[in-house]
Amino acid sequence: MDPARFVNVGPTEWRVEPFGAMRVPAVVYADRPLLEAMDDKVFEQVTNVAMLPGIVEASFAMPDAHWGYGFPIGGVAAFDAEEGGVVSAGGVGFDISCGVRLLTTGMKIAGIEPIKDHLGDVLYRSIPAGVGSTSHIRLSDAEMDAMLAGGARWAVGQGYGLAADLERIEEHGCVEGAEPDAVSAHAKARQRDEMGTLGSGNHYLEVQEVAEIYDTDAAAALGLARGDAVISIHCGSRGLGHQIGAEYLREMAVTAPDHGIVLPDLELACAPLASPLGRRYLGAMRAASNCALANREILTHFVRQTFATVLPEARIGLVFDVSHNICKEETHAVAGRRRRLFVHRKGATRAFGPGHPDLPAALKAVGQPVFIGGSMGTGSHVMVGAAGGHAFASACHGAGRSMSRHQALKHWHGRKLIDDLAGRGIVIRSPSPRGVAEEAPGAYKDVHAVVDVADRAGLARKVARLAPRVCVKG
Amino acid sequence: MADGEQSPSGRTSASGAWCHFHHGADIGVRGTGPTREAAFEQAALALSAIVTDLDRIAERSAVEVACEAPNDALLLVDWLNALIYRMAVDHMLFRRFEVRIEGRRLVGRAWGEAVDRERHEPAVEPKGATFTALAVDRGPDGSWRAQCIVDV
């Protein structure tokens, strides 16, 4: 994007004052190189979001922002129901409550290196990944509804996970207000075979090394030390969330004129929070969020089972579980007034700062963990929420693609890429070499630059860098 | 946007053509043909080709889908989402399509087979057809174009 289209508020903040139908300013957090590298569509989308009814303060874009659907990926916007605010199915996206959880193993990476290839093989066999994969779990209609209402809490009750995990999950593992009845039969049918599956695309399960510590105290509070072996799981609400997203997006697009809403982009399909459709979508979206939380908890259970057979000395603990495609009802101070807002984060992570009342006791002093997924070659980052609470206490979620999937296919060949990464000590297991090529590390932006800017902008603080060692891709 | 930037994949036949086009994170599918129905069929081929090479898919069984929408653009989204649903629920991949449109109602058939992970090496699953870069229109030569971005 052309920086001249913005007012440069500081080294990492760029602002567009309202023009046309914009109700609030647009704010992009980036340094000049990241801003210049962003697609022009980000400007269009972040300013379009600023036109939606009931938006509060500003339409924000995180340092990893890129061209999305209606909202930019990396977009954050909050709406006030009492001021005609809306909930947008487009603003949440298809993969509702897609997110990342980080697990500790109680082991150093040196203890895993000698059996890395074998570990990759057994994880690949035990973690259903990729198109057409299923687990052994099949839910009856009643079990499906119980899962949608209970989330990870339901999963733990079924024996998939540990009770101690729950306080390390946003909303303690269960999003209140879920309405299984607002989820269609089609959405439930799509989920019937998909509990405990990883999915495909940019979803992954990685065994990683804590390669660098930036903040020793914060890392210690999260149970991380240099050389530790940890595990990241990135996936979402699977077919159920995709179906809910598609159905409500259509319904909101068709009925927007009935609600007096002019959509600058059909993909911003939304409904007033106070409308029956808005309330029904919130109930379905929260149910999908619980599906994602249950799914990641079940995958964690599979990881524990796998490690018990291969590395029985491992003790798998949960650092935290965060979602980055979601609308959450939260309280924020705006111009000195505390307001109940519905905060949309599309490819953005909640990042409560230290002392926030919703944080578990063990993390209250340090802030909410934020996980920034990179590529399978460049690694990931751990951050924690900063005290400033910018952008409704939000931070980035990943590196963002620099190249489309088809551009990637022109540059890389899957099997050669797998061999090249093996040469760098990174074990890849995937059913699809083409899928690996589409996810080539070079197709992603520099995740380190993204987290540096997030840190400098005060969105979140850098804690640790994670280097991939074993990666299961869908 | 590189709306017109086509990927190297794509195919032309007597009944029309399909291709993929660029989106920052995902994939655009485009079908063209002499009729609206042909363009919809070609867009569906482009959808299948997101997952695997069409030549790897055999025609072993068929499914039928029907949808109805107030305009052509929404009808395309509904058609592709109906196929995505059947791909997900039936664990199917499709390689041939037949579309009939009467008024605002579409009835389609899709021929394919169950996913074989060894043989198909499926790359990525489509999550849903979006309204982004959505268009169903006719060119100056009278040919039809049907396209949108698919979230994967």
Taking an 8 Å cut-off on Cβ atoms, the answer to whether B77 and A201 are in contact is no
Residues of chain A with pLDDT under 50: none
Nearest-Cα residue of chain B relative to residue A44: B1
- Domain spans in chain B, listed from the N-terminal domain onward: 16-151
Q: Which residues of A are identified as catalytic?
A: 397
- Residue B2, pLDDT > 80, answer no
Q: Using an 8 Å CB-CB cutoff, list chain B residues near A41.
A: 1, 24
Q: What was the pLDDT predicted at A64?
A: 93
Q: Are A101 and A232 in contact (CB under 8 A)?
A: yes
Q: What was the pLDDT predicted at B7?
A: 52
Taking an 8 Å cut-off on Cβ atoms, the answer to whether B123 and A432 are in contact is yes
B7 touches chain A (CB under 8 A): yes
Strands A317-323 and A26-29 turn out to be unpaired
The answer for B 79-138 residues in CB contact with A (under 8 A) is: 81, 84-85, 88-89, 91, 114-115, 117, 120-125, 127-132, 134
Q: What was the pLDDT predicted at B3?
A: 40
Architecture of domain B16-151 in this structure: 3-Layer(bab) Sandwich (3.55)
Q: Are A197 and A135 in contact (CB under 8 A)?
A: yes
- Residue B5, pLDDT > 70, answer no
Taking an 8 Å cut-off on Cβ atoms, the answer to whether A66 and B8 are in contact is no
Q: What was the pLDDT predicted at A404?
A: 83
- Domain spans in chain A, listed from the N-terminal domain onward: 3-402+444-473
Helix H or strand E segment including B132:
none
Q: Using an 8 Å CB-CB cutoff, list chain B residues near A199.
A: 125
For the domain spanning A3-402+444-473, the CATH number is 3.90.1860.10
DSSP β-bridge partners for residue B105:
B68, B102
Tens-digit pLDDT profile for residues B25-47: 789 999 999 999 999 999 999 99
